[in-house]
Amino acid sequence: MATDLLTDLLIIFGLSIPVVFTFSKLKIAPLVGFLLAGILAGPFGLGLVQNMDNIEMLADIGVVLLLFTIGMEFSLRELLQLRRIVIFGGGLQLSITTLVVAFIFLCIGISKETSIFLGLLVALSSTAIVLKLLQEKGEIYSLHGRTSLGILIFQDVAAVVIILLIPVLAGTPGTEKSFLELILQGIGLVLFTIFSARYAVPFIMYQVAKTRNSELFLLSVVAIGLSVAWLTSMVGLSLALGAFLAGLIISESEYSIQALGNLIPFRDMFMSIFFVSIGMLLDLDVLKEHLPLILAATLTVLILKVAANSLSTFLIGFPLHTMILVGFSLSQVGEFSLILAKVGFINGLISAEIYQGFLDTAVISMVLTPFIMSMGYRTTSFVESLSFPSILKSGWYRHFEEQASSETPENHVIIIGFGVNGRNVATATRSASIPYCIVEINPETVRQEKQNGEHIFYGDAAQKAVLEHAGIQTAKSVVVTAGDPASSKRIIEAARRLNPEVHIIARTHFLSELDKFYAVGADEVISDEFESSIELFTRVLHRYLVPESEIDSLGSTLRSDHYRMLRSPEISRKKFCELALDFADVELRSIRVGKLSRAVGMTIGELNIRKKYGVSILAISRHHKLVSGLQAETEILANDILLVISPPEKIEEVKKLFEGQMG
């Protein structure tokens, strides 16, 4: 059995690699490649994978992990921000689509319960495909992206409710008497979710995060997910529902971004398995036998959903271009529909023929999604060139557009690490009114600084999800203050990969890491050792009265040359020898004139100190004001502060003269 499973996995991944590679070269979404790879590898394609039990098991694993991560990305806070779109837009879209599709099936003689169920299946769209395509285009924060997200959130929650209601629609024996029990189970799950999200999981994750052990953190996240999924299955609900709830529970903790970052590689792998397994379910014999009917059904679904989605978006007040883009983006049948269809088939709500026909229609609509979304952009450009009433072009509800744009972080600084250096950078950016956010791996620091009002969150900045949450795509600068060189290199590399234009400033203590940091993408690297050296010799050069411009020029040259002058002694000697040290044999001092000094009341000419001591008075500060235009007739008063230049051996005599010391 294990060997068979390994063989199937090898076939799946081996076939997926060239197919997805080819699709990537053709600028086609990789998910379409996974679906096609599944079609080719499955029992209805080339027959490379025959064991349907293995296929179903892989699909179940993919579904559980997919729903776990979707639940983790789902946020109640985001739901509140998008509540208008989620509640009204999502509710209208689901209702309109369900009613129209159910009416069509009723007209062709399908039962009421099955018609409603099929209407619900068609109404749901693909969260995974749509969000992935929007992220690839950088449009997740656009108006149509946020609107699509709000409707998808409603659909995801609705799918969970539909899972609970399938036995009721199917008329499963005992369902009527257990409907109250179903409601009580739902209330119990809500209370369990709230308690776990508010108290249990944050406490557990805080204790785990304090250990700084990434393996323990990942194991804890997986254990929480499996525990909740197992508990829901023990009360008769699906593993998929439990996985979604587990993700939702973790999403409400401050460790959700780091948890998601750890799981993304597994999520991506199992998502690929999930979509490959979905492709395997496509029966090519049924498709060939009923090709005109399935193509007609697919076209009908796409047109109907574009119209219903656009109408729903218009009814909540958004403009024409948003209506069209949302309509085309959400036109496919979603992965939740495939899950629900399987549950409905098991419960006898739909027949085997309808189930297979629906699978073929759903898979084809998913495959066409990237092309349909591209068609939406072209349709928008064409329609906007036509003459329409202003209320249709501009929409009647604009508050959300302003709110969405204001929530998008732009030109901010991402500060990674909140030690002494990170705090100083935060203080400087705050003083300059520059927006910033902080990423910190110490959970105690995160908890304390959040209470102090800092924009800080927990996570390893080397994780893609963590940097994306910090807004790496729109950030202007990234400051890496972490002391661990291995972590710093991973962070720099990830930041440069996600945003080639961002300016990265990194700190390092080790000389050996300097060139490595530049090699992985840093724009500037600050060396603790060399900066200390620069500060030390700067003060020495100031002491020898080297001109300020030459000192500044030397410091700038050292930094721009990546400290190579300090690392190459022969270069250093040559450069340092060019500095003018003409004033090495004099001292510059400030001296306050004492009340008992015999110089009080005398003029500079009368003192004749230049001839007697070789000393010159450069400036006089009197009552915090500079006395300008010093002449021989300028009088010296008590409490004047004199700036004098003197040979070192004459300093003490000059001090006795002006301070009134008794010799």
DSSP string covering 446-503: HHHHHHTT--EEE--TTSHHHHHHTTGGG-SEEEE--S-HHHHHHHHHHHHHH-TTSE
Residue 58: how many CA atoms within 13 Å on its side-chain side?
A: 31
389-429 residue pLDDT tens: 655 555 555 544 444 444 456 789 999 988 888 888 888 88
483 assigned to some structural domain: yes
The token duo for 356 is: 């297979």
- Cα–Cα distance for residue pair 636/658, rounded to 1 Å: 9
What CATH number does residue 493 fall under? 3.40.50.720
* Total domains present in the chain: 4
Question: 325 and 418: one domain?
Answer: no
The pLDDT of 41-70, averaged and rounded, is 74
590-599 residue pLDDT tens: 888 988 888 9
* Of 569 and 494, the one with more pLDDT: 494
Question: 349 and 274: one domain?
Answer: yes
Question: 104 and 225: one domain?
Answer: yes
What CATH number does residue 224 fall under? 1.20.1530.20
Please give the model's pTM, rounded to 2 decimal places.
Answer: 0.60
Question: 222 and 287: one domain?
Answer: yes
- Cα–Cα distance for residue pair 147/153, rounded to 1 Å: 10
Question: 607 and 568: one domain?
Answer: no
582 assigned to some structural domain: no
Q: Which of 150, 97, 206, 245 is nearest to 447 (CA)?
A: 206
Question: 500 and 621: one domain?
Answer: no
Instruction: Look over the chain and give the mean of its residue pLDDT values, rounded to a whole number.
Output: 78
**Is residue 518 over pLDDT 60?**
yes
pLDDT of residue 573: 42
400 assigned to some structural domain: no
Question: 57 and 116: one domain?
Answer: yes
**Is residue 572 over pLDDT 50?**
no
404 assigned to some structural domain: no
The token duo for 420 is: 């002494």
Question: 175 and 263: one domain?
Answer: yes
- Cα–Cα distance for residue pair 657/547, rounded to 1 Å: 29
The token duo for 294 is: 């399935």
pLDDT of residue 297: 92
Contact 607, 599 (CB under 8 A): yes
**Is residue 520 over pLDDT 50?**
yes
Q: Which range, of 193-197, 539-543, 611-615, averages the lowest pLDDT?
A: 539-543
Question: 53 and 144: one domain?
Answer: yes
432-472 residue pLDDT tens: 888 999 998 888 888 888 888 888 888 888 888 788 888 88
229 assigned to some structural domain: yes
- Cα–Cα distance for residue pair 62/278, rounded to 1 Å: 10
The pLDDT of 95-118, averaged and rounded, is 91
Question: 380 and 514: one domain?
Answer: no
pLDDT of residue 360: 86
Three-class secondary structure of residue 375 per DSSP: helix
Question: 194 and 305: one domain?
Answer: yes
